[in-house]
A and B are shown apart, each in its own frame.
Chain A
Amino acid sequence: MTIETAAARLRAREVSAVELAQDSLRRIREEQPRLNAFITVTEELALERARRADEELARGIDRGPLHGIPYALKDVFDMCGVLTTYGSKIFADRVAEHDCAVYERLTEAGAVPMGKTGLHELAYGITNDNPHFGAVRNPHDRERIAGGSSGGSGAAVAGGMVFFALGTDTGGSTRIPAAYCGCVGLKPTMGRVGRYGMMPLGFTLDHAGVLTRDARDAALVLNAIAGFDRRDDSSSRRPVPDYLPASESSLNGRRVGVPERFFSERLAPAVERGFADALRRAENLGARLVSVATPDPAEINVIGRLILLAEASALMRPYLERRSEFGPDVLALLDQGRLISAADYIDAQRLRRLYQRSFAGVWERADVIFTATTPIEAPRVGQTTVVTGDAEEDVRLASTRLVRPFNVLGLPAISIPTMPGALPAGLQIVGKAFDEAEVLSVAARLFTAWAI
């Protein structure tokens, strides 16, 4: 059931918000031992909010499409009085003292918080094999990772525990779990959603992200959380349009850019099949496929990795003496970040601007571009390398290879699921800065046509 369907049933009195919350709690209880998607379940709070949602609807107070809808927050978003651990041993007992911006907005929208989802330690990785809270498992195959770092949010949505979940995305952390778990993952434009009260990792790369079962649902959630927040220096003052696509939206005449190089290299056979099928289907729906020249994502990724190494280590500097309290992979990255020179960091930021300018040329030929989200399907828990093409590649670098560039560039990008085989894969749709409406419209049209 989608948010739109549940919202209609709530208003028709076919179901109550309390029943939706109870159903969500039941699913969480069933799936938690199998998937480990949650760190904290806020059962009492959820039922209290659900009762309030029902009372308000009975009194004619309607807060909109998210009113009474169960959701979850990645455990990096502060909820006042609720444990917020960042997936870290260091912060394992941290109780938030304020509400973050997105939680304030979702509360205003009447949504019902079911709890906090698991993540890679400090959101600094993509496997979600967390040494302190355990591995989050993939709903399609629990021997495989859910992806990350918002893997708990991906598993909670794809596992039918909540209607939507919020994640974060610093190098693909919303889109990767969406692709591996088979749900929708939206990273809006940098500045579109306020980050106040969201744990930082890479100050100039972090985005809040949305995970849903359906592309139209992602638009509904973005409608609720987008907009200026004076407490976030990166927040945009641009007006927020209605992101929900018209139900009769079409791909007729839409120019879909297909990168002529780089993005289609070294894809796993099933991913390649899924991507080719997505292009064919888009064309059948009236889209015009155009070849576009893009900068090499490998170059953009060097810039992004270097910036993130430096920013994350600056952030965690007060804690770096507590070495035994970090997992080995995160500690290794934090050590590397201490070695980045100021000159390299500054030049990486300057290069970033050059690539942003260079990439802007793409939009003269295309309205959106399509790529695979990840070049591989979900790896197994504990797997560290994968063979792509004829070369062995680090699972972390492979998983971020096609998504990290759009954190560096700040552009909006969504992953929608394809099912090329037994495991899901993702189609990534990227748009111009602040053109989430176009990205969501194309995604929704494809999603509806595919009846995923």
Chain B
Amino acid sequence: MSDWKRDIPNIPGDAVKKVEEIEASLRPLLKQLAHGAQPALILSESAVLGE
């Protein structure tokens, strides 16, 4: 799954490990995103806040 990360030049193994930890923390949260449901991607924070 993460082999592509290890193939990138100049990436220390520790960086791969750290990112895999963050990914592992993200996975349980993704259950909240039902397939096809909102929220959409909005990159302007002020739009999210009702602008």
A residues with CB within 8 A of B = 189-191, 203-205, 233-238, 299, 302-303, 305-306, 309, 323, 332, 335-336, 338-340, 344, 346-354, 356-357, 410, 433-434
Q: Give B22-51 interface residues, CB cut-off 8 Å to A.
A: 22-23, 25-26, 29-30, 32-33, 39-46, 48-51
With an 8 Å Cβ cutoff, the count of chain B residues facing the other chain is 30
B residues with CB within 8 A of A = 5, 8, 10-12, 14-16, 18-19, 22-23, 25-26, 29-30, 32-33, 39-46, 48-51
Chain A residues near B16 (CB-CB < 8 A): 339
Name which residue of chain B comes closest to A353, CB basis.
Answer: B39
With A and B bound together, what is the CA distance between A299 and B48 in angstroms? 19
**Known contacts A309-B22, A338-B8, A339-B15, A303 near B29 by CB under 8 Å:** yes
24 residue pairs of the A-B complex, CB under 8 angstroms, read A190-B46, A191-B49, A204-B44, A233-B44, A235-B46, A236-B46, A236-B49, A237-B51, A303-B29, A323-B10, A332-B12, A335-B11, A339-B5, A339-B11, A347-B26, A347-B30, A350-B39, A350-B40, A353-B39, A353-B40, A356-B49, A410-B46, A410-B48, A434-B49
**Known contacts A338-B8, A339-B16, A353 near B42 by CB under 8 Å:** yes
Contact between B51 and A238, CB atoms less than 8 A apart = yes
**Known contacts A190-B46, A234-B44, A339-B19, A302 near B25 by CB under 8 Å:** yes
**Known contacts A302-B22, A302-B25, A351 near B48 by CB under 8 Å:** no
Most A Cβ at <10 Å: residue of B11, B12, B26, B44 = B26
Chain B residues near A354 (CB-CB < 8 A): 32-33, 39
The 3 closest A-B pairs by CB, nearest first: A191-B46, A353-B39, A190-B45
- Chain A interface SS verdict (over half): helix
Chain A residues near B10 (CB-CB < 8 A): 323, 335
**Known contacts A302-B25, A350-B33, A236 near B51 by CB under 8 Å:** yes
With A and B bound together, what is the CA distance between A194 and B19 in angstroms? 32
B2 to chain A, nearest CB (A): 8
**Known contacts A335-B12, A338-B11, A339-B5, A349 near B42 by CB under 8 Å:** yes
Contact between B48 and A353, CB atoms less than 8 A apart = yes
With A and B bound together, what is the CA distance between A434 and B29 in angstroms? 28
Contact between A191 and B51, CB atoms less than 8 A apart = yes
Contact between B50 and A433, CB atoms less than 8 A apart = yes
Most B Cβ at <10 Å: residue of A235, A351, A357 = A351
With A and B bound together, what is the CA distance between A299 and B22 in angstroms? 11
B49 to chain A, nearest CB (A): 4
Contact between A335 and B15, CB atoms less than 8 A apart = yes
Q: Which of B19, B25, B40, B50 sits near A336, CB closer than 8 Å?
A: B19
Q: Which of A238, A336, A357 sits near B15, CB closer than 8 Å?
A: A336
Name which residue of chain A comes closest to B49, CB basis.
Answer: A433
A282 to chain B, nearest CB (A): 26
Contact between B14 and A332, CB atoms less than 8 A apart = yes
**Known contacts A204-B43, A353-B39, A302 near B29 by CB under 8 Å:** yes
Chain A residues near B25 (CB-CB < 8 A): 302
Name which residue of chain A comes closest to B17, CB basis.
Answer: A336
Chain A residues near B12 (CB-CB < 8 A): 332, 335
With A and B bound together, what is the CA distance between A191 and B49 in angstroms? 9
Chain A residues near B15 (CB-CB < 8 A): 332, 335-336, 338-339
Contact between A410 and B49, CB atoms less than 8 A apart = yes
Chain B residues near A348 (CB-CB < 8 A): 26
B50 to chain A, nearest CB (A): 7
Chain A residues near B8 (CB-CB < 8 A): 338-339
Chain A residues near B41 (CB-CB < 8 A): 346, 349-350
Name which residue of chain B comes closest to A345, CB basis.
Answer: B41
A145 to chain B, nearest CB (A): 22
A89 to chain B, nearest CB (A): 18
Contact between B48 and A356, CB atoms less than 8 A apart = yes
Most A Cβ at <10 Å: residue of B19, B26, B49 = B49
With A and B bound together, what is the CA distance between A236 and B42 in angstroms? 15
Contact between B32 and A351, CB atoms less than 8 A apart = yes
Name which residue of chain B comes closest to A205, CB basis.
Answer: B45
Contact between B33 and A347, CB atoms less than 8 A apart = yes
